[in-house]
Structure 1
Amino acid sequence: MATTTGAVWGRAEQQDFRSRVRGTLLGAAVGDALGGPADALTLEEIREAHGPEGLLDLTTGHGRRGTITHHTQLTLFSVDGLIRAQVRRDTGAWHPPTDLHRAYLRWAATQRDWGPDERRAEDGWLAREEWLYTRREPTRPLLIGFGDEHMGTLDKPKNPAERGPEAVARSAPFGLLVGWEPQLVVQLAVECAAQTHGHPVGYLSAGAYAVIVHGLARGESLDGAVQQALALLAVRPGHQPVSAALQCALGAVRQGMPSPARVAELTGDGTADGLLAAAVYCALVGEDVRHGLCLAVNQSGPSAAAGALTGALLGALHGETALPPAWIAELEGRPTILELADDFAMEMTQGPALHGPAGSAPGWLARYPR
């Protein structure tokens, strides 16, 4: 496997990687869009509204079908922050958690401002996308965590009691750093999750999820990627609830036909470890992407987060062409998601040609200012 540090990628490798990046981001977004309208409903209410089999298709949320929530918004800003971190690497002032924090503060501005400030060229292109300037149920831990300039760290995390799934749901892009060693992927995801979710369950779930995506993006099996995550978790204090949840997900696969009851059992009270377990289970047992996503969202817990987590796993595993095309066609923000995915893939595979000792591309640095 080529690396992000200058090794040469073959054309087939580049195409496969781009498909997995697109699959991850589109999968997360379409799962988010599928589950979003059911987020506040119990399973019984979902069935009352959509029939005895539950939610099987996109439905209206925020005025139209296919709308995303804050999970997708933040995932896109995670990608933006990672690209900006790679570009800043040339300057020698390289600290990815800080670059991600700046990206998340740009997301926070979309939640309070009427629209983009065109005078702020340093914000880059994503922060000028007007469709992102809308509130899609951001939770209190997110608004508090990114409510000021202070960055939470593992030593002094924001919201130290928070175990919710929001930090996990924005962490799939860290797994797309395929040239990084797995333990570094875990560390970056954990540090960035602590900016809003300071409980070990919250930030270790994010680290485990990121390294599972990392394995899939490198062509490993889902079961193998989960086993690697378990091995990397084992050395971290407070890992037991997250490790136990992943073990339960693997065990549930062998306990009969997939069912909403099994998903509900794994989800538990909707904390990060339960949503991670449910997503892994749904991705493992789903007959195809559509089945896995429907299994994930038809539950009384956080359906949007469950859909987003499951969709990113399936997209990283199978690539973009495995995603339901009718759903992708209706997905809010699809052009932006694809543009950002392709920029990320180009940066990771051809970064030295865009900014390096031989020169830089002014258009690229305008999109992703240092």
Structure 2
Amino acid sequence: MNREALETWRSRVRGSLLGGAIGDALGAPVEFESGRKILKKHPQLLRTFVTGGAGWPPGTVTDDTQMTLFTIEGLIRAGVRSDRGLGLTLAPVHHAYDRWLDTQQRSAPSGERDGWLQAEQWLYARRAPGNTCLGALRGARQGGPRITQYGVQAVNSSKGCGGVMRVAPFGLLPERFGTAGVFDAAAEAAGYTHGHPTGKLASGALAAIVHEICGGAGLEAALDATAELLTRHEGHEETSTALAGARHQAATAPGHGPVRVEELGGGWVAEEALAIGVYAALAYPEPGQLLDALALAVTHSGDSDSTGAICGNILGALHGESALPPELAGAVEGRQVILELADDFVREFSQRGHEAARYPGW
């Protein structure tokens, strides 16, 4: 990879991770409010960070961003493992989710776990974590974190959006991993907590969209490639239909607004969250419209933080870090950690080699 291509990829990685965090923090305070109530307070749509109440200042992220960061840390560890000739396996990602579980069950780092990310105190805030994620990860432990069954799929029928909201980092992997491989890996990682086929396939689809974009495709072309890839998987119909609906709305509906968003659902389940994020990105696809897209993605009666995060992941990858609204990019919680992980990810998958103490290969 030449220097120019490397810098473009780095900008996409940083843009996707930071864009997802911005969308998450933008939508989080209004997640459980009706679209009508949000519009009454924000008639131009929600375009600035607002407080989520006591202990929830403007710009605060939720479990969506927390788990996304552990996803990318797990991928870096998987890369380190591969550097040692052990092969690129996904168990380190499951291991990372197990460390995230500690942040939701403790008030501070215990000193018992490895790696630097789990020592970040700000990650120990509980921001309405998904019950399915918590339950599945607790179940995988079978008695304690030292005997967790890493890499085992969850046995449940959930297709909640807790899988799709965290897997964009798979799409940021270099081209050599292939879009089909990225799709399958993201679907498998979502399956650690969400057992329904749609929960997995919607997650694979988001990763595929991001991966195609990082490879140079436009948004429509990335969606075309993902739509074709979906048809190869049994049980794809719900996800395929939701994405087709989002594209139809963006192409034909007169005017874009919360009413159109809510016709796609509430975003509580995986395919709806993906569809809303895609619709908002298609409605405002230009670099200078990124804040318009995020505002549309979060102003509705549904899972506003997850739909905002997905939209931010997609457009951040498409346009790069420089297109992010500076007033939000500079104020989002965890900014420095997010960018540090982004740069470490790029370094690992372009140059290889990290200290084992920082990113142990498991």
* TM-score of the alignment, normalized to the shorter chain, above 0.5: yes
Aligned partner (choices 65, 74, 85) of residue 67 of structure 2: 74
Distance change (3 Å), C-alpha of 1:119 and 1:191: closer
Q: Is the 8 A contact 2:266 2:303 kept in 1?
A: no
Distance change (3 Å), C-alpha of 1:38 and 1:321: same
- Once the two structures are overlaid, the 10-residue window that deviates more, 156-165 or 299-308, is 156-165
Q: Is the 8 A contact 1:270 1:302 kept in 2?
A: yes
Task: Give deviations 1:152-174, integer Å, cap 9, x for gaps.
Answer: 86xx7425221111100001000
Q: Which residue of 2 aligns with 1:233?
A: 230
1:112-127 alignment to 2 at 5 Å?
Answer: 112-118=105-111, 120=113, 123-127=114-118
Distance change (3 Å), C-alpha of 1:258 and 1:171: same
Quick one: distance in 2 between partners of 1:104 and 1:269? Answer: 22
Q: Which residue of 1 aligns with 2:336?
A: 335
Q: Which residue of 2 aligns with 1:12?
A: 4
Quick one: distance in 2 between partners of 1:67 and 1:340? Answer: 18
Moved over 6 A (4+): none
Q: Is the 8 A contact 1:152 1:158 kept in 2?
A: no
Residue 273 in structure 1 maps to residue 274 in structure 2: no
- Cα offset, 1:94, TM superposition: 3.2
Matched to 1:348, the amino acid is F
Task: Give deviations 1:298-347, integer Å, cap 9, x for gaps.
Answer: 00010000000000000000000000000011110111001111101111
Aligned partner (choices 280, 283, 287) of residue 282 of structure 1: 280
Quick one: distance in 1 between partners of 2:244 and 2:193? Answer: 26
Quick one: distance in 2 between partners of 1:43 and 1:338? Answer: 32
Distance change (3 Å), C-alpha of 1:151 and 1:221: farther
Residue 140 in structure 1 maps to residue 131 in structure 2: yes
Quick one: distance in 1 between partners of 2:38 and 2:180? Answer: 40
Q: Which residue of 1 aligns with 2:182?
A: 185
Aligned partner (choices 29, 36, 40) of residue 44 of structure 1: 36
Percent identical residues: 43
Quick one: distance in 2 between partners of 1:112 and 1:136? Answer: 12
Distance change (3 Å), C-alpha of 1:350 and 1:92: closer
Q: Which residue of 2 aligns with 1:315?
A: 316
Quick one: distance in 2 between partners of 1:195 and 1:275? Answer: 19
TM-score by length of 2: 0.92
Distance change (3 Å), C-alpha of 1:331 and 1:80: same
Quick one: distance in 2 between partners of 1:295 and 1:277? Answer: 13
Quick one: distance in 1 between partners of 2:266 and 2:103? Answer: 32
Matched to 1:72, the amino acid is T
Task: Give deviations 1:105-141, integer Å, cap 9, x for gaps.
Answer: 0100111122123354xx2111111111111110110
Q: Which residue of 1 aligns with 2:243?
A: 246
SS state at 1:258 partner: coil
Q: Is the 8 A contact 2:79 2:88 kept in 1?
A: no
Residue 173 in structure 1 maps to residue 196 in structure 2: no
Quick one: distance in 1 between partners of 2:82 and 2:69? Answer: 20
Matched to 1:126, the amino acid is L
SS state at 2:28 partner: helix
Which runs of no fewer than 5 residues in structure 2 stay unpaired? 142-147
TM-score by length of 1: 0.90
Matched to 2:57, the amino acid is R
Quick one: distance in 2 between partners of 1:268 and 1:40? Answer: 11
SS state at 2:251 partner: coil
Distance change (3 Å), C-alpha of 1:108 and 1:342: same
Residue 295 in structure 1 maps to residue 292 in structure 2: no
Q: Which residue of 1 aligns with 2:346?
A: 345
